[in-house]
A and B are shown apart, each in its own frame.
Chain A
Amino acid sequence: METAFIAISRDFQTYGAVERDGEVIFDRVAGFDQVSEERSRYAPKEFLMKRNENVLILNVENKTAVFGIKSCDLKGFYLMDKQVFGKDPFYTEKREKTLFANFVCSEPCSGGFCSSFGGPVLDQYDLQILREGEKFHVMVSEKYDRYFGEFKKEAGTFYSDFSNRFNSKLEPLPVEGIERRIKWNSELWKEYASACISCGACNFECPTCYCFDLYDDGNERKREWDSCILSGFTSSSAGNIRKDLDERLRQRFYHKFVYFKKSKDTYLCTGCNRCVEDCPVGIDIKEVITYDYNRE
């Protein structure tokens, strides 16, 4: 791996998951052995969409390689692509110039439910890395094949076997058909609204959320990450069409499980569990999936 890493570092600015003060964050790394295999504290969305950025001038971006992103976080970008790739020039410019090397988890993390959405072995990737003891199995996309020219190519079923084993360890939730089961008038939304403090974590921390607010600062035009839980989100002159918090909370789940499914034929969720972990009041999207709506 180190050889490939060095070759990639010649062409790219290289970042990796590293530990700082007990948190795994992303920073510059000089060697593959420095990259942490622990799951990062956050989905590194800022590589493609900054929390706050100037949108008057489209900069030509550097080529960037990010090592150590987990599959669930990376999958967020592939889902985002369906909505914004090619449409948002700032995202697109960075997306095209960024290489992600994702680590496939060998064991389920605590709380994550990626197996419900296919598990940690992705079918879209740049470099997909799976450790087996001291050995690394790497799946390379055509775009980056050249960095692995001299390595032994393995055919076979290693990845799919692994995937089956993993997914049997982490039982998938019954996501299929959630778009038909979920209920508009469920009591869940009011229950959640009584606890939610509108912090926005479930959007800001979600690897699939891509909404921005545009604003002017002096003679500059900027945009900043936004949250659909807030009442000013998509507000028109008549105020937000979703006046109450329970409606806005419901909107988030409907977007993920109903609207996106209808328009893009996939759910807007990777099972990373970040929205649950970072919700200060413990609102759990898994409950939205498993809840028995018929009971009501």
Chain B
Amino acid sequence: MVIPTQASGERVIGYSKSPVNEGKLCLKGYSGLSYNFSKERLKYPLIKRNGEFVRVSWEAALTETSNRLKKIIKEYGPDSVAFQSSAKCTNEENYLMQKIARVIGTNNIDHCARSCHSPTAMGLITTLGAGAATGSINSLDDSKTYFVIGSNTTEQHPIIGTRIIKGRKKGKNLIVADPRKTQLAEIASIHLQFNPGTDVALLNSIMHVILEENLEDTKFIEERTEGFSALRQELAKYSPEIVEGITGIEPEKLREAAKIIAKEKPTSILYAMGITQHVHGTENVMSISNLGLLTGNLGVRGGGIFPLRGQNNVQGSSDMGALSEWYPGYIPVNSDSVKRFEILWKRGLPTNTGLTLSEMFDAAVDGSLKAIYIMGENPLVTEAAISDVEKGIENLELLIVQDIFMTLTAGVADVVLPATTSLEKEGTFTNTERRIQKVNVIYDSPGEAMPDWWILNEIGKRVGGLESYDNPRSIFEEIRKAIPNYSGATYENIYPTGKQWPINKDNPDGTEILHTKSFPIGKGKLVPIPYRPPAEVTDANYDFIMTTGRNYYHFHSGTMSRRTDVLERESPEPYVEINTEDAKRIGARNSQKITIESRHGSIETKVKTTDKIPAGIVFVPFHFDESRVNRLVGKNLDPLSKIPEFKVVAVRLVV
């Protein structure tokens, strides 16, 4: 909650009535706002002429952008155009952008959920019927055991992390599976410090022990699931003794952890990018779902599966269908239900699967894609295999970037449209626990910056002949018709504390715990998942495994947090975390500049020695555009969700 009192100076407070944080904030809450007032905000529409940006009027910018888009569509067809939406934008804006794409005739609409939680959507929709957290943040207080895997919760989801810390200090069980010694790992009952990329082997082995000890929930398995015998067969192969060779975890430790998870119920399983950003990301998610089902931890308060979302609106932007394989509400693009949208939008609609984020740049390289319209994304920093992104962009006829700052990506665009921040516009976000929350206008925007929904609305009218929306509210009213889970939400009834979807006739107050009686697909599916090694392995030339991710202070490509004084001071420059012993061995000192090389590229960065990371593994955050770690990340995609493997990259360190 931000309180702007003109004369007294603005103040940020946690809203104490909010069930999400109970009024508690992390440092980004308290100190993360200054970017909003930065001198570097984009203030006017810009069009590139002879390599230089020229300030133009909105009318000129909109007309030229629309005309160029229309020309490309006419010449090469609608699939020659692609849209990249944003999990930082509102539901209304995401809905509008995907609608424009589809009304124009293409499913080439995608966004950064592809690089974080597309395996969650794919995996959990397959096994449970809903790609979302099954419980609420509040319900974590009723857990007896937390199983945290692939999530540095106190740094990436600090407020949820504090619930776990408080629970642990009260004596609850905490099992942490992570290659790094995270803050939670330090206070855990058991820390399983396993090798990166061996999640499926670890999870299968945990389930192996559970069956071996007869700790599974037989009643739940019988009544609520299907596929148990096939799963049992697969799990038989994963005795802890055999799996130790893969994961590096001692059998006794693993047995103990498995017993706690199965016996000390309810158990909540929390995971994040450490699970999803792998070539087998979707399989990892389904393994987690297997564990939840096997132990009967779904549909109960205090139990459940919690994919922790990395951005304010990843859940919402995915719900809105800003994904190439789904219409709003996760209607597959090739299903008959698309008719619903044809009626709602009064158009024939495309039913072929569109291009995903990373495929878009490939298509640009091979020449089939001519234009990309990016809203609030910075792929030149955040995408895997950056050199391919660069080549793709170079080959485009038209790149449109709508943003609040001149990002690296905006810098190479043909058209730059200045947008407003979430403190300057109205709309809704859907958070990690499915809670739809309202944002309101707090500040005026600088210069001629306009809200994303307004810009999209103008483009939609001109390019797609869309009816004009008066305001975000009128878009939300349409969302309520498009997505049954949102049908009962209104701007009035979700304010100020928000409500968790599904909100509908049967659940007017929303739904805190999913799947209490049945799954949307009837029975939960247990799926046998064989372990496959990560795409990249170490060899004599590339002898370290690198994992990438965020740190506590910065957000994504750093566009906002690096323009925020205190956050930037806390973490001002790129670095690589190396185990102290490894550093000694290769002769690197703290703060020394070194080069990291992978099979895909190389970067320079500074050494930070630490004991929190095991030997043989290094960690590099991706926030820094002066040393982009994604140059090193290859394009090894999960075949199911198309997420690149950001978490396992073979590298060598050159001192």
Q: Is the CB of B23 within 8 A of A46?
A: no
Size of A's binding interface in residues, CB under 8 A: 49
Give a binary string over B13-46; 1 marks a CB under 8 Å from any A CB, 0 the rest: 1111100010111110111011001111000000
Min CB gap A78→B, angstroms? 19
Flag whether A225 is at the interface (Cβ < 8 A).
yes
| A46-B8, A230-B27 known; A222+B565 contact, CB < 8 A | yes
Q: Is the CB of A199 within 8 A of B8?
A: no
Flag whether B329 is at the interface (Cβ < 8 A).
no
Interface residues of B in 130-152 (CB under 8 A from A): none
Q: Is the CB of A215 within 8 A of B15?
A: no
Q: Is the CB of A22 within 8 A of B17?
A: yes
Give a binary string over A41-78; 1 marks a CB under 8 Å from any B CB, 0 the rest: 11010110111110000000010100000000000000
Complex interface: stretch among A143-151, A157-165, A278-286: A278-286
**Option from B13, B15, B23, B162 in Cβ contact (under 8 Å) with A197:** B162
Q: Which of B8, B12, B17 has the most CB of A within 10 A?
A: B8
**Option from A62, A197, A235 in Cβ contact (under 8 Å) with B161:** A197
Tell me the bound Cα distance from A279 to B159 in angstroms: 11
Tell me the bound Cα distance from A49 to B10 in angstroms: 10
Q: Is the CB of A204 within 8 A of B7?
A: no
Flag whether B411 is at the interface (Cβ < 8 A).
no
Flag whether A25 is at the interface (Cβ < 8 A).
yes
Min CB gap B170→A, angstroms? 10
Tell me the bound Cα distance from A232 to B10 in angstroms: 24
| A46-B11, A217-B38 known; A195+B16 contact, CB < 8 A | no
Closest A residue, CB atoms, query B17: A22
| A22-B496, A23-B1 known; A198+B27 contact, CB < 8 A | yes
Flag whether B233 is at the interface (Cβ < 8 A).
no
Q: Is the CB of A230 within 8 A of B570?
A: yes
Tell me the bound Cα distance from A51 to B25 in angstroms: 15
Q: Is the CB of B16 within 8 A of A199?
A: no
Min CB gap B146→A, angstroms? 15
**Option from A15, A23, A201, A213 in Cβ contact (under 8 Å) with B569:** A213
Flag whether A13 is at the interface (Cβ < 8 A).
yes
Tell me the bound Cα distance from A13 to B39 in angstroms: 30
Q: Is the CB of B166 within 8 A of A281?
A: yes
Q: Is the CB of B11 within 8 A of A232?
A: no
| A25-B3, A52-B33 known; A197+B8 contact, CB < 8 A | no
Contacts of B16 in A (CB 8 A): 22-23, 41
Flag whether B50 is at the interface (Cβ < 8 A).
no
Give a binary string over B27-69; 1 marks a CB under 8 Å from any A CB, 0 the rest: 1011101100111100000000000000000000000000000
| A52-B33, A201-B24, A201-B25 known; A213+B158 contact, CB < 8 A | no
Contacts of B39 in A (CB 8 A): 217-220
Q: Is the CB of B9 within 8 A of A64?
A: no
Tell me the bound Cα distance from A46 to B154 in angstroms: 29
**Option from A47, A194, A199, A231 in Cβ contact (under 8 Å) with B186:** A194
| A215-B565, A278-B24, A280-B158 known; A23+B15 contact, CB < 8 A | yes
Min CB gap B24→A, angstroms? 4
Flag whether B187 is at the interface (Cβ < 8 A).
yes
**Option from B11, B33, B186 in Cβ contact (under 8 Å) with A42:** B11
Q: Is the CB of B3 within 8 A of A13?
A: no
Q: Is the CB of B9 within 8 A of A213?
A: no
**Option from B11, B13, B33, B187 in Cβ contact (under 8 Å) with A194:** B187
Contacts of A232 in B (CB 8 A): 566, 569-570
Flag whether B165 is at the interface (Cβ < 8 A).
yes
Interface residues of A in 115-156 (CB under 8 A from B): none
Closest B residue, CB atoms, query A45: B11
Q: Is the CB of A50 within 8 A of B13?
A: no
Size of B's binding interface in residues, CB under 8 A: 46
Tell me the bound Cα distance from A215 to B569 in angstroms: 9
Q: Which of B165, B566, B569 has the most CB of A within 10 A?
A: B566
Contacts of A219 in B (CB 8 A): 39
Interface residues of A in 1-49 (CB under 8 A from B): 13, 15, 21-23, 25-28, 41-42, 44, 46-47, 49
Tell me the bound Cα distance from A53 to B10 in angstroms: 10
Q: Is the CB of A42 within 8 A of B162?
A: no
Tell me the bound Cα distance from A253 to B121 in angstroms: 46
Contacts of B214 in A (CB 8 A): none
Q: Is the CB of B17 within 8 A of A23?
A: yes
Q: Is the CB of A15 within 8 A of B8?
A: yes
Flag whether A93 is at the interface (Cβ < 8 A).
no
Min CB gap B507→A, angstroms? 24
Closest B residue, CB atoms, query A277: B23
Q: Is the CB of B25 within 8 A of A224?
A: no
**Option from A46, A64, A217, A278 in Cβ contact (under 8 Å) with B10:** A46
Tell me the bound Cα distance from A293 to B297 in angstroms: 44
Flag whether A172 is at the interface (Cβ < 8 A).
no
Contacts of A215 in B (CB 8 A): 565, 569
Tell me the bound Cα distance from A133 to B371 in angstroms: 72
Flag whether B517 is at the interface (Cβ < 8 A).
no
Q: Is the CB of A41 within 8 A of B158?
A: no
Give a binary string over B547-573; 1 marks a CB under 8 Å from any A CB, 0 the rest: 000001000000000000110011000
Tell me the bound Cα distance from A42 to B3 in angstroms: 11
Q: Is the CB of A200 within 8 A of B11?
A: no
Flag whether A179 is at the interface (Cβ < 8 A).
no
Interface residues of B in 153-188 (CB under 8 A from A): 154, 158-159, 161-162, 165-166, 169, 183, 186-187
Contacts of A222 in B (CB 8 A): 34, 565
Contacts of A64 in B (CB 8 A): 7-8
Contacts of A41 in B (CB 8 A): 13, 16, 23
**Option from B30, B165, B565 in Cβ contact (under 8 Å) with A281:** B165
Tell me the bound Cα distance from A26 to B5 in angstroms: 8
Tell me the bound Cα distance from A194 to B318 in angstroms: 35
Tell me the bound Cα distance from A160 to B10 in angstroms: 37
Contacts of A227 in B (CB 8 A): 27, 30-31, 566
Closest A residue, CB atoms, query B36: A52
Q: Is the CB of A53 within 8 A of B158?
A: no
Contacts of B30 in A (CB 8 A): 199-201, 204, 225, 227
Contacts of B34 in A (CB 8 A): 52, 217, 222, 224
Contacts of B169 in A (CB 8 A): 195, 281-282
Tell me the bound Cα distance from A64 to B15 in angstroms: 26
Min CB gap B591→A, angstroms? 9
Tell me the bound Cα distance from A70 to B163 in angstroms: 30
**Option from B7, B15, B38, B158 in Cβ contact (under 8 Å) with A62:** B7
**Option from B9, B24, B31, B570 in Cβ contact (under 8 Å) with A50:** B9
Contacts of B158 in A (CB 8 A): 197, 199, 280
Closest A residue, CB atoms, query B29: A199
Give a binary string over A224-265; 1 marks a CB under 8 Å from any B CB, 0 the rest: 111100111001000000000000000000000000000000
Contacts of B21 in A (CB 8 A): 280
Q: Is the CB of B8 within 8 A of A44?
A: yes
**Option from A13, A49, A280 in Cβ contact (under 8 Å) with B159:** A280
Q: Is the CB of B38 within 8 A of A199?
A: no
Tell me the bound Cα distance from A281 to B153 in angstroms: 14
Tell me the bound Cα distance from A49 to B38 in angstroms: 19
Min CB gap A148→B, angstroms? 25
Q: Is the CB of B17 within 8 A of A21?
A: yes
Contacts of A42 in B (CB 8 A): 11, 13
Tell me the bound Cα distance from A198 to B161 in angstroms: 12
Contacts of A225 in B (CB 8 A): 30-31, 566
Q: List 6 A-B contacts (CB under 8 A).
A: A42-B11, A51-B10, A195-B187, A224-B565, A224-B566, A281-B169
Apart from the given pairs A195-B165, A199-B158, 11 other A-B contacts in the complex at a CB distance below 8 Å: A15-B7, A50-B10, A51-B33, A52-B10, A52-B33, A197-B162, A199-B27, A204-B31, A215-B565, A218-B38, A280-B159
CB-based closest 10 A-B pairs: A218-B39, A50-B9, A280-B24, A280-B162, A46-B9, A215-B565, A232-B569, A232-B570, A21-B496, A22-B17
Point out residues on B near A: beta carbons under 8 Å.
Answer: 1, 3, 5, 7-17, 21, 23-27, 29-31, 33-34, 37-40, 154, 158-159, 161-162, 165-166, 169, 183, 186-187, 496, 552, 565-566, 569-570
